[in-house]
Amino acid sequence: MCETLDGEPIVEVNCKECGEKDEASFGKSINTLMILRSLCFTCLYWYLRISEKDQPTSVRIKGRHYTICAENAPKPRGFGGNLMVIQFFDGHIIESHNLWSQGEIPERFRMQLPDNAKFR
């Protein structure tokens, strides 16, 4: 049996969300979540984004997911430290020099992660 770098056994997971098979080979904490929830890494990743969707740092624009990180975080910064101006649908505006993209939200998760903002 193969092991991950931290000595954990690699377990095959049949994803209950998308039906794909994946190997839980990402380290103990991620592997445990994959196995307990019967999710591949990709679906687990998006379920974790769903669990954080109401956080003020969670941004969704045109079907893409972003996270606002601390302005005083060490470099590198998201989008090269360029100023990103975000207007949330509730009207408040955030300016960030440290916005990170998590990529396009898969179609099957867009109902749970609807857009909540736009770029200004």
pLDDT digits (tens, 9 = 90+) for 77-117: 999 999 999 999 999 999 999 999 999 999 999 999 999 99
Mean pLDDT on 54-77: 95
With a CB cutoff of 8 Å and minimum separation 6, the contacts of 84 are 78, 95, 96, 97, 99, 119
Mean pLDDT on 7-18: 88
Q: How many residues does the chain have?
A: 120
pTM for this prediction: 0.86
Instruction: Band the pLDDT of 2: cuts 50, 70, 90.
Output: low
Are both 56 and 85 inside the same structural domain? yes
pLDDT, position 10? 82
Domain around 5 = 1-51
Which residue in the block uniquely carries the two structure tokens 């606002």?
A: 68
Are both 76 and 120 inside the same structural domain? yes
Are both 35 and 84 inside the same structural domain? no
Are both 36 and 77 inside the same structural domain? no
Q: What are 120's two structure tokens?
A: 């200004």
Q: Are 56 and 46 in contact (CB under 8 A)?
A: no
Q: Are 21 and 14 in contact (CB under 8 A)?
A: yes
Residue 8 pLDDT greater than 90, yes or no: no
Q: How many domains does the chain have?
A: 2
Mean pLDDT on 29-39: 95
